[in-house]
Amino acid sequence: MLNWRINEIERYRNIREISEDSFRLDMAERQNLFPSEFVDKFHKSFNQLDLLCYPLDFYENELTELIKTHIGGKNIEVSIGAGSDHLIKDAIHVFCASENKKLLIPTPSFPMYKIYARCFGVDTIEIEHNSILTDFDSLIENINNKIGLVILANPTSPFGEYCSPSDIKKVSQKCHDVGAILMIDEAYIDFVDEPHHLIEFNLRNTIFLRTFSKAYGFAGGRIGFIYGEGKYISLIKNINLTYPVSNYSLKFAIFLLKNSHIVDHYSMLVRKERDILYKELEKNNVFFYKTQSNSIHILGNDYFDKKFNAFEMKYDVLVKTSKTASTPIVIPSHPGTNWYRIAIIPNLVNYLNL
């Protein structure tokens, strides 16, 4: 007998035809190519044993220690997985499915939260946004002993709101009171102007999730990590795949952390371009929502539509709009239907000729 929950899942994936000259503004990836000497230096460290052998514990252990140093938290544990969404699935498995508990999320949010819950037969409670801001009062009100896991992206996805430590601490405390776990998805943390080091706030029942796919520019490597208090992370490790990440991905993630100035420089360029973009959009009366991530929601008007159409005519451009089939843009409480969701890349304003 087929599981009806799984049978009713509809998965979409846009067919992307890209080249190094494409403007990939649709999935918040790094746009700029790495310097060729940087990539060449890494490839010289790669050898045939990295292809012939199963992933080596040495690489995973080295990466784990580098992550701990990078995070700067004391007494934390780390689990590495095949992309952060692999770890999301594992967290739902551990804290919801195995405990017969529910998942609680704000919505809209990363679509895979709900899909992975359905894969395990887990019910999802969704707290709908009345605006692009998270309704923390409603979120906290719905945390009870039937909830196993609360997932909160910070900055939020898709709108890029950066939540205050005080609001997160309230959610964390309520999770502790009822025995639930709070998972903070920090996929876009590197693009925040002034990020808080939440691991230092001693949040109760809280774990953190990060990815190498965004600021680190390694989406093709499929690698992420989850970190926090050992007693929670050990549960994630217990159900991890035997070898979740390839030698190639482990070694390049190590290489990125040892050369983090490359990542920091790119993130800085994106943050600067974001401020320039704000000014140009405001000057030309284009409505948009400010963000602390590397993508922005813009409501097209005659001026912006004309500029973007010219951009698309000149270049190979991938972008998400209100008409995108897989994940069309919907803005809570806003009637506009001509939305763009655009990745912010260095020199975007010049390319758009705003």
Preceding peptide of 335 cis, ω within 30°: no
Residue 156 contacts residue 136 (beta carbons within 8 Å)? no
Confidence check: pLDDT of 73 > 60: yes
Does 189 lie in the same domain as 254?
yes
Does 343 lie in the same domain as 230?
no
- Report the pLDDT value the prediction gives residue 130, as an integer from 0 to 100: 75
Q: What is the mean pLDDT of residues 50-54?
A: 96
Residue 111 contacts residue 327 (beta carbons within 8 Å)? yes
Collapse the DSSP code of 199 into the 3-class scheme (helix H, G, I; strand E, B; otherwise coil) and give the result.
Answer: helix
Q: Model's pTM, two decimal places?
A: 0.94
The last residue of a domain, from among 259, 279, 304: 259
Angstrom CA distances, 260 to 42, 93, 152, 172, 294, stand at 14, 33, 26, 30, 18
Confidence check: pLDDT of 12 > 80: no
Q: What is the mean pLDDT of residues 283-312?
A: 96
162: DSSP letter:
-
Which residue, chain included where needed, has tokens 């946004």?
Answer: 129
- How many CA atoms lie less than 13 Å away from 128 in the CB half-sphere? 5
Classify the phi-psi angles of 192: left when phi > 0, otherwise alpha if psi is within -120 to 50, otherwise beta.
beta
- Report the pLDDT value the prediction gives residue 212, as an integer from 0 to 100: 97
Preceding peptide of 195 cis, ω within 30°: no
What is d(CA 63, CA 249) in angstroms, rounded to the nearest whole number? 10
- 245: containing domain: 47-259
**Tens digits of per-residue pLDDT, 194-238?**
998 887 778 899 999 999 999 999 999 999 999 999 999 999 999
Collapse the DSSP code of 102 into the 3-class scheme (helix H, G, I; strand E, B; otherwise coil) and give the result.
Answer: strand
- Report the pLDDT value the prediction gives residue 332, as an integer from 0 to 100: 79
Domain holding 95: CATH number? 3.40.640.10
**Tens digits of per-residue pLDDT, 145-159?**
999 999 999 999 999
Domain holding 16: CATH number? 3.90.1150.10
Angstrom CA distances, 135 to 51, 104, 105, 150, 249, stand at 48, 13, 11, 14, 37
- Report the pLDDT value the prediction gives residue 42, as an integer from 0 to 100: 96
Does 189 lie in the same domain as 122?
yes
Residue 87 contacts residue 226 (beta carbons within 8 Å)? yes
The last residue of a domain, from among 259, 284, 300: 259
Number of domains observed in the structure of the chain: 2
290: tokens are 């400010």
**Tens digits of per-residue pLDDT, 311-347?**
999 999 999 988 776 677 878 777 778 999 999 999 9
What is d(CA 213, CA 211) in angstroms, rounded to the nearest whole number? 5
What is d(CA 350, CA 332) in angstroms, rounded to the nearest whole number? 30
Does 270 lie in the same domain as 209?
no
Indicate the average pLDDT of the chain. 93
Does 57 lie in the same domain as 21?
no
73: tokens are 């938290």
Collapse the DSSP code of 184 into the 3-class scheme (helix H, G, I; strand E, B; otherwise coil) and give the result.
Answer: strand
What is d(CA 341, CA 354) in angstroms, rounded to the nearest whole number? 17
What is d(CA 300, CA 321) in angstroms, rounded to the nearest whole number? 10
- Report the pLDDT value the prediction gives residue 243, as an integer from 0 to 100: 96
- Report the pLDDT value the prediction gives residue 325, as an integer from 0 to 100: 65
